[in-house]
Homo-oligomer: A and B are copies of this chain.
Amino acid sequence: MKSTSSINNKEYPIPSILDDKKNIDSFIQSNKDKKIVVVQGLGFVGAVMSIVCANSMVQEYAVIGVDLPNKDTYWKIASINDGIFPVISSDNKVDEFFKNTISKNNFIATYDPYAYSLADIIIVDINLDVKKHSSSLNDLEDFEVDLGPFKKGIEVISKNCKEDSLILIETTVPPGTTEKIVKPIIKDGLGRRDLAKEKIKIGHSYERVMPGPNYIDSIINFYRVYSGINEESSNAVELFLKTIVTTDDYPLTRLSNTNATEMAKVLENSFRAMNIAFIVEWSRFAEEANVNLYDVVNAIRMRPTHKNIMFPGIGVGGYCLTKDPLLASWSRKNLFNSEKLASSEHAVKVNDKMPYDCFTFIKSQYKETLEDKTFLLFGVSYAPDIGDTRYTPVEWLYRFILEEKPKILLHDPFLSYWDEMNISISSDINEYLSNQIDCVIFSTGHTEYRNNSMLIKKLQSLDNLFIIDTIGVLNDREILSLNEKHIVKVLGRGDI
């Protein structure tokens, strides 16, 4: 069986005999006297966390990244050992940090759980996913939290780890998970191996990783919250975090138990998700009252107490805001036998539906069928200036439009291929701009689309466009000039 890299399309055969001990031992041999960090999960967080540890200025670490030897993930292991980092990033530091680990030879990747048996510190960066049940309109009806893969990951650690290692959970989990799920599994595993249960240290410190231009800095130069299952665990986490975070500028916050840090993570993302959902009704109100909600929000943001009010938009994407409020609600109901968090679930529901709202608005502009039309979407990523399509709201907008059977062209400066949809994306802004186009949709707020006079000039040169700006990238001057030949509509504001 082979595993295909999504970075360079290279195929890596998965070994038929899964034994990587020799490589690991020789790696450890050449990294004598270094503390051994094993990172479980080589996704967006784990891969970068690995090279951050390997680049610590405070403590010499030998870092082993572990992932599963299957079709979807084996290529990451092989790619790292092949000298190719498994995440493309606009942050130059990623490249720099990874190159350092090659010259220092202090980072390898493996599938072999043997690595855990050597670890002083095990960092858990595997996913814990929510499966949503939505109607065809992306209308959240129900959801499941699948703890299975996460539990399996912890079980593997419990069967291999040293009795005095530090296990640091970074995964976003339902509050209560470290105490009620991780701790029992680990202690049970140690017990079965006749190891001391009381020496193990388990902590929780959630990451606030932002893929994008500040990918590395979102770990080393940012605030961290942490906790442990006991005093020793908390102390061990603190000691470790001080080796990777510049705590002089970004002081750590210790909370008194793991429920608290777990809750902090899902609360901060729920706060964000809820504030995005909140502005949806106001966007419609602004359109009706001929108000520019972007200007209104900017005026309100002058107040320090109101800085976090959100702008209108097309929806919420990314891995966290789309599921964390549900993890929280699930936890309260299932781990604490209480009510669900209705307002957090409602926020996800509203946000999930935003692309559909946007689609119906677009459709309402046409009397005729969309079948013969050609749409050009500017932006596929879920957020500005990153090439990340995970749960992007543009996917839903794309799907809804596609159902009407028009032609859809895609542009994104940070993407050449859309994995989830298996289609090519142009990064040349001029490629599709011709009179073939009927409708231009600004769907991601990339900087390249803002104050781009070349783009505006090109759009002016075309005929009879319907231009819809879902995220306020066009300014008044641009809209006025485009309105001379075209029809421009902006979500969250009236006509100008």
For A291, the chain B residues whose CB sits under 8 A away are 175, 255, 257, 259-260, 263
Scan A435-470; emit 1 where CB is below 8 A from any B CB, else 0.
000000000000000000000000000000000000
B278 and A343 contact, CB distance less than 8 A: yes
A306 and B303 contact, CB distance less than 8 A: no
A268 and B300 contact, CB distance less than 8 A: yes
A267-B300 CB under 8 A given contacts A260-B291, A275-B275: yes
Residue of A263, A285, A302, A308 with highest tally of chain B CB at under 10 A: A285
A268 and B306 contact, CB distance less than 8 A: yes
A336-B175 CB under 8 A given contacts A281-B343, A305-B272, A341-B281: no
Which one of B286, B328, B339, B344 lies within 8 Å of A263 (CB-CB)? Answer: B286
The reply to whether the CB of A430 lies closer than 8 angstroms to some CB of chain B is: no
In the complex formed, the residue of B with least CB distance to A298 is: B253
The reply to whether the CB of A167 lies closer than 8 angstroms to some CB of chain B is: no
The reply to whether the CB of A241 lies closer than 8 angstroms to some CB of chain B is: no
The reply to whether the CB of A208 lies closer than 8 angstroms to some CB of chain B is: yes
The reply to whether the CB of A121 lies closer than 8 angstroms to some CB of chain B is: no
Smallest CB separation, A6 vs chain B (Å)? 30
A285-B338 CB under 8 A given contacts A291-B257, A299-B253: yes
| Residues of A in contact, count (CB < 8 Å) | 57
The reply to whether the CB of A290 lies closer than 8 angstroms to some CB of chain B is: yes
Interface residues of A in 262-279 (CB under 8 A from B): 263-264, 267-268, 270-272, 274-275, 277-278
The reply to whether the CB of A143 lies closer than 8 angstroms to some CB of chain B is: no
The reply to whether the CB of A176 lies closer than 8 angstroms to some CB of chain B is: yes
A304 and B303 contact, CB distance less than 8 A: no
The reply to whether the CB of A289 lies closer than 8 angstroms to some CB of chain B is: yes
The reply to whether the CB of A428 lies closer than 8 angstroms to some CB of chain B is: no
Smallest CB separation, A494 vs chain B (Å)? 9
CA distance A338 to B344 in the complex (A): 25
The reply to whether the CB of A82 lies closer than 8 angstroms to some CB of chain B is: no
In the complex formed, the residue of B with least CB distance to A285 is: B332
The reply to whether the CB of A44 lies closer than 8 angstroms to some CB of chain B is: no
For A272, the chain B residues whose CB sits under 8 A away are 305-306
For A274, the chain B residues whose CB sits under 8 A away are 274, 278
Which one of B255, B293, B341 lies within 8 Å of A296 (CB-CB)? Answer: B255
CA distance A197 to B309 in the complex (A): 39
B302 and A223 contact, CB distance less than 8 A: yes
B338 and A295 contact, CB distance less than 8 A: no
The reply to whether the CB of A133 lies closer than 8 angstroms to some CB of chain B is: no
The reply to whether the CB of A288 lies closer than 8 angstroms to some CB of chain B is: yes
Smallest CB separation, A145 vs chain B (Å)? 16
Residue of A272, A293, A295 with highest tally of chain B CB at under 10 A: A295
The reply to whether the CB of A342 lies closer than 8 angstroms to some CB of chain B is: yes
The reply to whether the CB of A390 lies closer than 8 angstroms to some CB of chain B is: no
Smallest CB separation, A203 vs chain B (Å)? 15
The reply to whether the CB of A225 lies closer than 8 angstroms to some CB of chain B is: yes
Smallest CB separation, A267 vs chain B (Å)? 6
B175 and A281 contact, CB distance less than 8 A: no
Smallest CB separation, A385 vs chain B (Å)? 16
CA distance A281 to B266 in the complex (A): 13
A303-B268 CB under 8 A given contacts A256-B292, A263-B285, A290-B259: yes
B223 and A289 contact, CB distance less than 8 A: no
A-B contact list, 29 entries, CB within 8 Å: A175-B289, A175-B291, A225-B299, A253-B295, A253-B298, A256-B295, A257-B290, A259-B290, A259-B291, A260-B289, A260-B292, A260-B295, A263-B286, A263-B289, A264-B296, A264-B300, A267-B282, A267-B296, A267-B297, A281-B344, A282-B341, A284-B339, A285-B338, A285-B341, A289-B332, A289-B336, A307-B307, A307-B308, A343-B350
* A residues at B contact (CB < 8 Å): 175-176, 208, 223, 225, 253, 255-257, 259-260, 263-264, 267-268, 270-272, 274-275, 277-278, 281-282, 284-286, 288-293, 295-300, 302-309, 328, 332, 336, 338-339, 341-344, 350
Instruction: State the 9 A-B residue pairs at the shortest beta-carbon distance, nearest first.
Output: A308-B308, A223-B302, A253-B299, A260-B291, A259-B289, A225-B299, A268-B300, A264-B296, A288-B336
